[in-house]
Amino acid sequence: MRSLLAAAVAVLLVAPPAQAAPVLDLDRATIPHLARRMDAGTLTAVDLTRAYLRRIDDVDGRVRSVLALDPTALDQAAASDRRRAKGHARGPLDGIPVLLKDNIDTRGLASTAGSRALHVPPREDAALVTRLRDAGAVILGKANLSEWANFRSTRSTSGWSAVGGQTNNPHVLDRNPCGSSSGSGAAVAASLAQVAVGTETDGSIVCPAGQNGVVGLKPTLGLVSGRGVVPLSTRQDTAGPMARHVVDAAILMSALGGGDYAAAGSATGNAVRGARIGVWRKAGASPEADRVVQRSVDALRGAGATVVDVELPYQDRIDAVEFPALTVEFKHDLERYLATRPGRFRTIDDLIAFNERDPVELSRFGQELFLAARDAPPTSDPEYREQRRTATTLARRSIDEVLAAQRLDVIMAPTNSPAWQTDYAAGDAYVLGTSTPAAAAGYPNVSVPAGFAGPLPIGMSFMAGHRADAKVLRFAAAFEQLTHARRAPRYLTTLP
């Protein structure tokens, strides 16, 4: 796969630019900055796309986050330049290179969910890809992911797929990028695309955002179409933006969801003055996260916010029913999706049998969750229906009741503890996570860089109620401006 990717980059870059490429600081550049340069004629979309292709060629051999490049990327960029030259630019995303998680159907590209079973490309774009093309985005390629959205084994390792191998955390390469949008998070952190699209069922956008030190928004359920996205559970799944800067995440969200979030993503630190913020500390799980939380609280209070400690109720009861409900939904929703795809796989039994025959699929860990899903009851089962009702209702109450009782604008919580060392024998080593309330509720949750434990990033999450996406983005942008916590990766081999 690495040699094929290198060959693809070489083909795309075979024709050199007619003049010296403009100087670009890809790590620090925002979409508004790039759009201004393209409007002024000091940068072209082709220049920008070439810069990212070269960056992939230079860096991704260590990170292993890009599965495939779109061979039409430079043609898409040239079409964007022609539109802009005629005064027909489609908006701020026109000409901006985007990577897509490889569970998102993309015409002309294999969309594998990380599995060697889905090698036949889909017939058409996912609905969200159509929206990105309509906005003028350059579809740069596909990002690796945790295979089947990390729902194949109870001992899986985030960032590994049979198609792409292991994605590494660019801050410390033997540390895990978290999943399942691991490739999207690591690629954005390493400046291999301006933005990327990830997907989340519970934590799969915000956790890789936190551990890779970038911004990730898990939107309100239903704002972004799930048509053409390999599902885990349509009752919780949503695609969402990942970026180095909140404003870029907001602009990408505008294209994905059809709203206008750019102003919220451009908020200044003054936006928190007079606000009431609840902090769900999850204290004691991670001393490093505890220190970042306290520094975050101090920064917000220093900017004029009132910050009060809160606890989110019902968490044990939600945890007891969410996973069994997801297991039922996975079989039902995946088989319904497989019926839309070309190829011979139609049931989870087909996939189980394929994995047992394939020399790579079970080489790192098993498929216990596939077996559990195979044996799960149908979605008409009364016990399942009560599990789903309980998970969703209690998750919503856990957020809504705290917001109301404390008269809060948002709730803040640590996204993650420092990234663990990738270890196939032990599997993932989660210590701290706060994604479940918003995930099971279908409410928005955005993670933004907040600090470090040595060289390892820690994020802070901002969550609120139904369709409060602009609000959480506004608080994330204000927090970003107050703390300036993000750093470019150092690509350390290991910790000292």
142 catalytic? Reply is no
Tell me what the mean pLDDT of segment 71-91 comes to: 98
Catalytic residue among 80, 156, 158, 180: 180
Confidence band (pLDDT; 50, 70, 90) for 22?
confident
Residue 218: active-site member: no
Give residue 120's pLDDT.
94
Indicate which residue of 65, 146, 153, 204 is catalytic. 204
Q: Span 45-64, mean pLDDT?
A: 98
Concatenate the DSSP letters of all residues of 221-243 into one string.
TTSS--TTB--S-TTT-EEEEEE
* pLDDT over 80 at 1, yes or no: no
DSSP secondary structure string for all residues of 311-358: --TTHHHHHHHHHHHHHHHHHHHHHHHHTTSSSS--SHHHHHHHHHH-
Q: Tell me, what's the pLDDT at 19?
A: 58
Evaluate if residue 14 carries a pLDDT over 70.
no
Q: Which residues of 436-456 are buried (b: 16+ CB within 10 A; e: fewer)?
A: bbbbbbbbbbbbbbbbbbebb
Strand locations in 8-157 (E): 66-69, 97-101, 138-143
Is 204 labeled as catalytic in the residue annotation? yes
Task: Please state the rounded mean pLDDT for residues 388-397.
Answer: 98
Q: In what order do the strands lie in the sheet with 138-143?
A: 66-69, 138-143, 97-101, 195-200, 238-243, 215-218, 445-453, 456-463, 410-414, 276-279, 306-309
pLDDT tens digits along 401-433: 999 999 999 999 999 999 999 999 999 999 999
Q: What percent of the chain has pLDDT over 90?
A: 95
Instruction: Return the H-helix or E-strand segment holding 396.
Output: helix 382-405
What confidence score (pLDDT) does residue 8 get?
72
**Residue type at 374 in one-letter notation:** R
pLDDT class of 292 with cuts at 50, 70, 90: very high
In this predicted structure, what is the pLDDT of residue 387? 98
Q: What is the pTM of this model?
A: 0.97
d(CA 165, CA 147): 10
Whether the bond into 180 is cis, omega within 30 of 0 = yes
Measured N-to-C along each axis, helices 45-63 and 182-189 cross at an angle, to the nearest 10 degrees, of 110
pLDDT above 70 for 21: no
Residues 12-35, mean pLDDT to the nearest whole number: 81
Tell me which of 65, 101, 142, 225 is the catalytic residue. Answer: 101
Give pLDDT, residue 88: 98
Q: Residue 458: beta bridge partners?
A: 451
136 has pLDDT over 80: yes
How far apart CA 375 and CA 133 sit, in angstroms, is 40
Residue 200 has pLDDT above 80, yes or no: yes
Q: What pLDDT, in 10s, does the model give residues 162-177?
A: 999 999 999 999 999 9
pLDDT of residue 315: 98
Q: Is the pLDDT of residue 17 over 60?
A: no
E-strand ranges in 244-294 read 276-279
Give me the pLDDT at residue 20, please. Answer: 61
Report the distance separating Cα 56 and Cα 193, nearest Å: 8
Mean pLDDT estimate for the chain: 96
Looking at residue 473, its pLDDT comes to: 98
Q: What is the per-residue pLDDT for 12?
A: 80
Average pLDDT over residues 373-399: 98
